[in-house]
Amino acid sequence: MLLAAEVNYRGSDVDTIVRRFSGVGNDEFPEGVRLVNRYHSPGTKWAVVVVDVDNVVALQLWLAQWIDILDITLHPVTTDETVAPVIEAMLAD
């Protein structure tokens, strides 16, 4: 399942976030969570991380690494290629 993790943070936490982020390297995501892409907006203290998840425990383990310094909201997302059935169902109503 694709999820967009919307991230908000306080300016006072930037140093801690950058240090932790630079220290995790390739081990940031546990098996069962794959990074699709990240988008950053440091000027607004906002980011989004798109992940492909097939294991809810792995997702929770990844979130647990960051929840103390980041406010994270998860959104299930889909691609242009897979959204067609949803759009069709919405139009049928």
Place of tokens 């607004």: 44
**8 A C-beta contact, residue 5 and residue 71:** no
Domain count, the chain: 1
Q: Is 15 helix (H, G, I), strand (E, B) or coil?
A: helix
Nearest-angstrom CA–CA distance, 25 and 32: 17
Angle, CA 4 vertex, CA 79 and CA 64 arms, to 5°: 150
31-57 pLDDT tens trace: 999 999 999 998 999 999 999 999 999
pTM over cut 0.75: yes
**Quick one: pLDDT at residue 22?**
84
CATH number at residue 33: 3.30.70.1060
